[in-house]
Structure formats: C-alpha cells, structure tokens
Amino acid sequence: MKTVYEKPKSLNDVHFHYCPGCGHGVIHKLVAEVIDELGIQHKTVGVAPVGCAVFAYNYYNFDFSQAAHGRAPAVATGIKRSKPETVVFSYQGDGDLAAIGTAEIIHAANRGENITVIFVNNAIYGMTGGQMAPTTLVGQKATTAPYGRDPKTMGHPIKVSELLSNLEGVTYIERTAITTPGEIMKAKKAIKKAFQNQIDGAGFSMVEILSQCPTNWGVKPVDGTKFIKEKLQEVFPLGVYKDLSEERKGGK
C-alpha cells in the first residue's frame, strides 16, 4: 500500500497530554515536519517553557533543554553561542514569553540572537489555571479577572509581534493562526522560514501563532477556532510584521 502520510520522525510515538481542541498538538506537528524537511533533526535543540508545553521534551525526538519560567530565550542564547552549529529554538506560551519572560525575549530580540522563537499565544495562562495573561483580551474573563479584563486597572493586551518588530536586532516576525487548513499551511511556511533564517545566519526570527485553549476560554473544543477568528484576530491581526531575511543572510 502506498504511504501518503506518516508521523514526522522528529516526533516520538507517544500521546500528547493536551486537552481536546488544544492547538499545541498541531503546532508540535508543524515544527516537527519542518525539522524533518530541513534535515536538521540531528543538530536541533529545543528549549521548553513552563506552561502547558512543559513536557515538549517528551514529544520531540531530538535534544531538548528545560528552562525556568520565561527564561527560554536566555537558555537558547547560551546553547547557540556555545554550539553555533546547532539549530536552537524556544517554544513558549504567552504567560511564559509575554509576562514572566518579558525581559528575556526583549533582550534576546534586541541583541539579534540567531535563534528561532515559536510563540504560542492563546491569550491566557493555561497550565497554571487560567489566570489573566498580558495578551488576555479586554473583557475576557480569567480566574484572576472574574469580571473580565478591565483596561483601567489591568492595562490593554500586549501585542508582542508589533512591539518586538520595532527592535533593530529583529530579522523576521510573522503572526499566524491555526484555524483552517490554509492558515495552518501558512503557519508551517512561517515556521520553516524562521528555521531557515537561523541556518542562513540571518538572525532573530519569531513566529507568533494564535492557538486554541478551549479549556480556559470556557468554550467547547469545537468552538476554539471560532474564538480565534472572531475575537483574537481582531486584536492580534495576522501578517508579517518585519522581514529582513534576505538582507541579513550570512550574518550581515
């Protein structure tokens, strides 16, 4: 029988622990497919966050390191600088990257570290219990904002891609969403480019992916995608925020 699809070699043959309708499984698969296609499995090192993807090292079939909450860009910097032949990426949620690790991501981006960042934005703290994240929408309920986020006392959602794209050190930033087969393929293309940039020595690349967390949004698993399209994308528009990939190839 002809094989039309098989699990990427960069994923282990184990079950994910994620909730029904969660976006992490899809994103894991896209990253693994890209690593297989680029033929870099033997030299890839991932850095796992604290958050729902804390067990990423169990799912990927290549080297992994575990960072303290929010510190993945600092750990990725250390690995990449000491072993420049490796391909290093951090995999981080919005609680991890945009709150606890704000300093790490801003400074790694500003230094133009030649690393790849996969930023999974589901507008809420997942694993720790549905607390308000910096990316939580105005009016969105969270366990620490039971009446909904009020910008008067809680500020407005932080738009990380827009913020980081203003920094000189950044080479490439794109925001995607895993809502439809077409958008999922666009997300994969962006992930591939972010890894290719690192291989080319082009510098800091980040792909933000709007991802489903039906459990903490209080919606049915089947309605997670609708929430992204109707609510998240209004505040976090999809698109390329910066792209100097060609100009910076070879470390220019």
x/- contact string, 184-223, with ligand SF4 (CB under 6 A)?
-----------------------------xxxx-------
**Quick one: which of 8, 11, 24, 209 contacts ligand SF4 (CB under 6 A)?**
24
- Give me the residue label for tokens 């909904």: 148
Does 95 sit near ligand SF4 (CB under 6 A)?
no
Minimum CB–partner distance for residue 201 and ligand SF4 (Å): 33
Residue 94 site contact among ligand SF4, Mg ion, none (CB < 5 to 8 Å, cut-off depends on kind): Mg ion
CA separation for the pair 123, 141 (Å, rounded): 11
**Residue count (the chain):** 252
Of the candidates 75, 72, 116, 69, which has an alpha carbon nearest to the alpha carbon of residue 95? 69
Which residue number, 25 or 95, has a Cβ lying nearer to Mg ion? 95
Binding site for Mg ion (CB under 5 A): 93-95, 122, 126
Minimum CB–partner distance for residue 209 and ligand SF4 (Å): 12
Instruction: Kindly state the helix (H) or strand (E) to which residue 203 belongs, with its residue range.
Output: none
Query: What is the token pair recorded at 242?
Result: 């910066």
Minimum CB–partner distance for residue 17 and ligand SF4 (Å): 7
CA separation for the pair 71, 7 (Å, rounded): 30
Q: Which stretch binds ligand SF4 (CB under 6 A): 18-26, 76-84, 156-164, 202-210?
A: 18-26
- Contact between 73 and 101 under an 8 Å Cβ cutoff? The reply is yes
- Taking each helix axis from N to C terminus, what angle separates 24-38 and 181-199, rounded to the nearest 10 degrees? 50
Residues of the shown chain interacting with ligand SF4 in the complex, contacts defined by CB under 6 A: 18-19, 22, 24, 52, 122, 126-127, 213-216
